[in-house]
Amino acid sequence: MKAKICIVISTYNEDITNELYSSAKKELDKFGIRKIDTVKVPGAFEIPVAVAKLIKKYDGFIAIGCIIKGETANFDLISKAITNGIMQISVSQKKPIGNSIITLFNRDQAVKRYSRGKEAVRAVLEVLKIK
């Protein structure tokens, strides 16, 4: 497959997002995807707007971020806004966006979710096969 993929990665909780990135990158390499660009954004909230700005340049996207619940409702609001934003862009532009933005109650949960990068890649590549 000769897809051009963009990985949009949040630098917030960078230790976790780097693991998700590594998982995604290995999977793209496994499938022989060589046209890969990476764009860094400060937080997960900025991922949908970055994808929207770049939507015409790529066949698909991998969104990588990590949101950890704190003391406020911000966790729920941010998570929902990001998911809705990504879905709206994906459907309206007819481009797959693999969602590897994980939501956690604590940092310890991250280790069990590092494969989400790989899963997001597989989802995007499967959708790209649809004609």
Q: Using CA atoms, how far apart are residues 8 and 61, in angstroms rounded to an integer?
A: 7
**H-run or E-run covering 90:** helix 74-93
For 8, the domain range is 4-129
Q: Which two tokens stand for residue 73?
A: 């409702």
Q: What are the Cα distances from residue 19, in Å, to 53, 71, 84, 131? A: 25, 25, 24, 32
Beta-carbon count within 10 A of 125 CB: 20
pTM over 0.85: yes
Q: What confidence tier does 36 reach under pLDDT thresholds 50, 70, 90?
A: very high
> 54-103, pLDDT tens digit by residue?
999 999 999 999 999 977 778 888 999 999 999 999 999 999 999 999 99
CATH of the domain at 107: 3.40.50.960
Question: Domain count of the chain?
Answer: 1
